[in-house]
Structure 1
Amino acid sequence: MQLKRQAIVMASAMAATFAAVESAAAHPHVFAEARLDVILSPDHQSVKALRHLWRFDDLFSSTVMMEFDKNSDLKLDDKELKDVADTVHASLAEFNYFQLVTVDGKDVAMTPPPHLMANFENDQLIILFESEPKQPIKLSGKIDIGVYDPTFYTAIDFTEDSNITVEGLPSTCTKKVVRPDPDEAIAENQKTLTEAFFNDPTGTDMSKIFATKLELNCPPEG
């Protein structure tokens, strides 16, 4: 049971197996390609939900397969997939499911997704879930939406700008995908980056400054 949890924590909490071995190494060990669909309300005036899909790398996916394939048939049945989803769901809870959502630079509270879905496709683990803001996010001001791992152990990457979408955005709003340059991000945030960040960034929440995100800019209300 502990090995099972560690296998998933490598991709979600990220502090189990590898942290014990390489506590000072601030680089990813698990990789995932992501898609994020921003769902607007029916009147297209607020963000209603975020729909996430993460496709994990072959090595991590094979690790999950070995840990959860209880009948050793080299595939995961519905119950085994549910065990994977439930374990990931529990592990991600304290990290807000790796979500970055801000309005004018202030964090937006998100409702935890009630459940996740897990699947295997072409020998790769796929995790899907949908979350909603606790209060509707009005399309006003600057809204940033993305994905990041605060522990630096997982690299969740949008390989194409088209993998972050929003349909039906009002014509008064603009959108763009922002991919921060690491050196520029550090320079711009020098005053807020503490010595602890440079010694062990996994102990901070500043990895969000490196996250790829969708930036929406809409006229302020009033």
Structure 2
Amino acid sequence: MRTARRAALAALAFASAAAATPASAHPHVWIQMQSGVVFNDQGQIAAVKLAWTFDDGYASLALDGLDKNGNGTYEPEELEPLTRENLESLKDYDFFTHVRLNGKAQALGAPTAAGQSYTGGKLQLHFELPLSTPVDPTRGEFVLKVYDPEFYIAFDYAGTTPVTVSGNMPPACKPVLKPLPTDAELEQTRAMLSTKGPDWKPDEEEDFGALFAQPMTIQCQA
């Protein structure tokens, strides 16, 4: 029964509300995140790293019954089933992770280096998503957006180092976390969306949620 409950909780945390729309949806799960970009030896972007810290409400439900030895802590092996269930659910939503170079969507592979921890009263999931084909950031702006298009889950950058870089980043490049849209910009966006039909998209690849997501970019001088 507890196994079924944990699976249901994982699905709840990582499934968008079927009837939700950008105009009416409200978050039910809150995540504070850090994102990273991994460069290979050739100076290409080879992967992105994600670290998500969950709100206390979700954590208390997700952790219920996982302290098998009753010692008051959550060992990696005790959290492993939850990690597996979360990643399985996330796969159906492309891990809420969208990568583009010059506006063109880049395919991502299966997650690696995945794990979960519970320290300081906070539950955190971390994993890495390799790019199917590494990209050269000097050929155009690299953009990473993490968001739920149905707004069931709220993703917000947090911490003193919300973005990181590892590997051989070209000297002419730097990471830039662009600001969130202002209230005035959000109102303009909402007003514009109210005039569109349910099937409208900003362009041929992006969706509603992309308009509200905070971009993490790699920008390189010519």
Secondary structure, counterpart of 1:215 in structure 2: strand
1:38 aligned residue: 37
Secondary structure, counterpart of 1:100 in structure 2: strand
CA offsets, 1:37-94, max 9 Å, x none? 1111123x21011111111111111111115445666543444311100000100001
1:11 aligned residue: 13
Consecutive unaligned residues in structure 2, runs of 5 or more? 201-205
Q: Give distance in 1, aligned partners of 2:29 and 2:177.
A: 23
2:185 aligned residue: 184
2:109 is aligned with 1:107? no
State how many pairs are aligned. 209
1:141 aligned residue: 140
Shift of 1:148: 1.0
> Higher mean Cα deviation, 111-120 or 147-156?
111-120
Alignment of 1:78-93 (within 5 A): 78-93=76-91
Shift of 1:109: 0.4
C-alpha spacing 1:174/1:2, structure 2 compared with 1 (3 Å):
same
**Aligned partner of 1:177: which letter?**
L
- How many percent identity over aligned positions? 25
Q: Give distance in 1, aligned partners of 2:109 and 2:33.
A: 20
1:201 aligned residue: none
**Aligned partner of 1:100: which letter?**
H
1:210 aligned residue: 212
Shift of 1:208: 1.8
Shift of 1:95: 1.1
1:196 aligned residue: 198
> Is the contact between residue 150 and residue 206 of structure 1 (CA under 8 Å) also seen in structure 2?
yes
**Aligned partner of 2:64: which letter?**
M
1:55 aligned residue: 53
Q: Give distance in 2, aligned partners of 1:105 and 1:194.
A: 22
> Is the contact between residue 34 and residue 159 of structure 2 (CA under 8 Å) also seen in structure 1?
no
**Aligned partner of 1:84: which letter?**
L
CA RMSD of aligned residues (A): 3.1
CA offsets, 1:13-36, max 9 Å, x none? 244xxx68xx56411111111111
**Aligned partner of 1:214: which letter?**
M
> Higher mean Cα deviation, 25-34 or 88-97?
25-34
Give the TM-score taking structure 1 as reference length.
0.79
> Is the contact between residue 163 and residue 175 of structure 2 (CA under 8 Å) also seen in structure 1?
no
Consecutive unaligned residues in structure 1, runs of 5 or more? 199-203
Alignment of 1:95-134 (within 5 A): 95-114=93-112, 116-134=114-132
> Is the contact between residue 65 and residue 75 of structure 1 (CA under 8 Å) also seen in structure 2?
no
C-alpha spacing 1:95/1:161, structure 2 compared with 1 (3 Å):
farther
Secondary structure, counterpart of 2:13 in structure 1: coil
> Higher mean Cα deviation, 184-193 or 90-99?
184-193
> Is the contact between residue 5 and residue 87 of structure 1 (CA under 8 Å) also seen in structure 2?
yes
Which of the pair is proportionally richer in helix?
1
Alignment of 1:15-26 (within 5 A): 15=17, 23=20, 25-26=24-25
**Aligned partner of 2:8: which letter?**
Q
